[in-house]
Structure 1
Amino acid sequence: MTELPFSVLMCVYRGDDPAHLREAFDSVTVEQVRPPAQVVLVQDGPVPTALDEAIQRLVAEPVVPVELVRLPVNRGLGVALTAGLARCAHDVVARMDADDISLPERFAVQLPVVEGGADVVGSGMLEIGSGRDDVVGRRVPPLTPERIVESSRMAQPFNHPTVVYRRSAVEAAGGYQDFKQMEDYLLFARMIQGGARVANVADPLLCYRVGEGAYARRGGWSMLRTELALQRRFLRMGFTTPAQCVRNVLVRGVYRLVPEQLRRVAYGAIMARRGER
């Protein structure tokens, strides 16, 4: 099987930690068993001096070619990813967040799945606290194509920071849209509805930082309004049935409004249940 070159797409904004960015960048380049041919780094709006200096050091280092895309104002993840995809030199693109850590074998495991025909492949991931040795949880996605499609009617079927996809398949589905904190779920729903070939691997191939406020950001009235808008969109596009829409509004809507501690417990139970299937 021919090995395809691929790009890594990262976005950084003013709230990111320079040290975390450095660790994330190293984890997808010098630490990888199978490194990328390009990194596209999107700077979503102005950043503090320390972070700007960290970005400039990454661009200047001859580790791997880095394409820096600067957006003059903060536009949000959906817009930033769209701008970054346009600058990716290769059809195969791996997503990476600026504060996570990819494990060394990540691309060596995922790229052959794409080369074997998948349009998008995600993986399991470890939730970490203060560092990669402080593991506080584990997320295992649905594994078979049938389970991925089935579960997507209720929940995001991929751990977005772990995905590798074909840019052509993303563009065929309309690309990312500006849909606060739900742009990934909406994209993957459209890809699934359009017949994209989907896959997940159970192995945790990425460490995902669960910082302060991670569960708080998943709740509140603003997130409830976004949730309701997403469910209306799914219903209009025929991705869900009326019965599924009502179920999702009740289950996912209540999740957005319960106290943060209860939300944390509920989320852990949901992830454990998904991992058993």
Structure 2
Amino acid sequence: METSALSISVVLPVFHRQQSVENINLLRRSLESIKDQRMSIDYEILLVDDGSPVPISNFKDVLGEAAHDVTWIRIPINRGLVNALNTGILAARHTLIARLDADDVWLPSKIDKQLSQFESDADLTISATGMSLVKTDGSHIEDHIRPGDWNGILRFFVDVGCPFPHGSVLAKKEIYRLLGGYPHSGNFSHCEDYTLWGTWLRFFKPAMVEESLYNYTVSDSSVSAIHGEQQRNASRIVQSRFAKGRLASKLPDALRSLAGCLGISLMNAGKLSYLLWQFKPDITLPSEALDPLRVILFDREFSTISSGSSSQSWADLLGLPRTIQSQPSDEITGRFYCL
């Protein structure tokens, strides 16, 4: 991907139940860490005030230079983190979404190293980094570095838990929007990121920078501290659903195989697979696409049906010109449905 095609919208949700000097100082530190990236591409900072009793924008002058060029989005009533995140994603003008919380910090070179990954791989859709746990005064607790390759990230997801430190994520806006943003379901409260990654990693290529380039502030008011048990229960549901396929290690090769037989990019193969999984349309596609799709869509069954006007070409489903299709020896029309 060309550098000129990359631009970043930083989504920073904030809810200050009570204003304090500490809250403002932590927010200033977060904003300064964005500015310290010295990004050479277009970017914006979207500060989403999730109904704080005193609007955060009232403190522009106190925040000083750190608040320069910030776009202030005010939600009148507190509706929770998921709504704030999705509000920011909908408002974003740029191609990549970066995520940061109001008490966390990016370390210098974080964005540069992630942008290098996107520039060298057009199929990459999401990148994260390692993180350091720190106290509110910035003192170090411990580091967490996760595997950097696609298979390693999938193994971590199934065997351990959430592979991406949320505030380290840089990801393609078009995939966020395709997947409908962060889920609002009450079953996954306080686990919205892990739930979204459970769908994302199944269909789209991830990467990690295996360095600690993000500081996560541990405090008594953090989500994991207040809602830890609920978060763990929701995580177990997501983890068990993903593990049912017992095919996590085969997903990358299956998506590459699908892309090869259709003559499309790996990202478009992921989009097609997701649309088949989510909407279960009648579809006409080459017969050789069935084997990789059975791996990717392990919780869907496929049945051949009579061709009719209701079926559509896989290229039409993606909005691609039909000339992009390879010339398969056989085509089938079929329907995917839930097992």
Category of TM-score, reference length = shorter chain: 0.7 to 0.9
- Between the aligned partners of 1:163 and 1:122, the Cα distance in structure 2 is 4
CA 1:56–1:170: 2 relative to 1, 3 Å = farther
**1:144 corresponds to 2:146:** no
**1:207 corresponds to 2:215:** yes
**1:68 corresponds to 2:72:** yes
How many correspondences in the alignment? 233
Please report the TM-score for the alignment, with normalisation by the length of structure 1.
0.75
- Between the aligned partners of 2:44 and 2:173, the Cα distance in structure 1 is 14
Overall identity of the aligned pairs, in %: 27
> Does the Cα contact within 8 Å between 1:37 and 1:64 map onto a contact in 2?
no
Determine helix, strand or coil for the equivalent of 2:73.
Answer: strand
Please report the TM-score for the alignment, with normalisation by the length of structure 2.
0.62
CA 1:158–1:223: 2 relative to 1, 3 Å = closer
RMSD (CA atoms): 2.7
> Does the Cα contact within 8 Å between 2:219 and 2:225 map onto a contact in 1?
no
> Does the Cα contact within 8 Å between 2:220 and 2:226 map onto a contact in 1?
no
2:206 aligned residue = 198
Determine helix, strand or coil for the equivalent of 2:37.
Answer: coil
Which structure would you say has the larger RCO, counting Cα contacts within 8 Å and 6 or more residues apart? 1
CA 1:164–1:223: 2 relative to 1, 3 Å = closer
- Between the aligned partners of 1:71 and 1:63, the Cα distance in structure 2 is 18
> Does the Cα contact within 8 Å between 1:22 and 1:54 map onto a contact in 2?
no
1:107 is displaced (CA, Å) by 0.8
1:189 aligned residue = 198
1:86 aligned residue = 90
- Between the aligned partners of 1:28 and 1:102, the Cα distance in structure 2 is 7
Which aligned runs of 4 or more in structure 1 are off by greater than 6 angstroms?
Answer: none
1:185-231, Cα deviation, whole Å (9 max, x unpaired): 111111112x21100111111111111365643534x4455446545
1:53 aligned residue = 58
1:140 is displaced (CA, Å) by 0.9
> Does the Cα contact within 8 Å between 2:128 and 2:165 map onto a contact in 1?
yes
- Between the aligned partners of 1:197 and 1:242, the Cα distance in structure 2 is 18
1:140-163, Cα deviation, whole Å (9 max, x unpaired): 122111111222224111111100
> Does the Cα contact within 8 Å between 1:126 and 1:137 map onto a contact in 2?
yes
CA 1:8–1:56: 2 relative to 1, 3 Å = farther
CA 1:112–1:242: 2 relative to 1, 3 Å = closer
**What amino acid does structure 1 have at the position aligned with 2:206?**
V
**What amino acid does structure 2 have at the position aligned with 1:206?**
Y
> Where do residues 187-266 of structure 1 align in structure 2 (5 Å cutoff)?
187-193=196-202, 195-212=203-220, 214=222, 216-217=225-226, 219-220=228-229, 222-223=230-231, 226-227=234-235, 230=238, 235=241, 239-241=242-244
Determine helix, strand or coil for the equivalent of 1:212.
Answer: coil
- Between the aligned partners of 1:228 and 1:18, the Cα distance in structure 2 is 35
Q: Point out where structure 1 has 5 or more consecutive residues left out of the alignment.
A: 245-277
- Between the aligned partners of 1:13 and 1:56, the Cα distance in structure 2 is 19
CA 1:64–1:168: 2 relative to 1, 3 Å = farther
> Does the Cα contact within 8 Å between 1:122 and 1:200 map onto a contact in 2?
yes
Larger Rg over CA atoms:
2
1:20 aligned residue = 26
Bigger Cα displacement from structure 2, 9-18 vs 20-29: 9-18
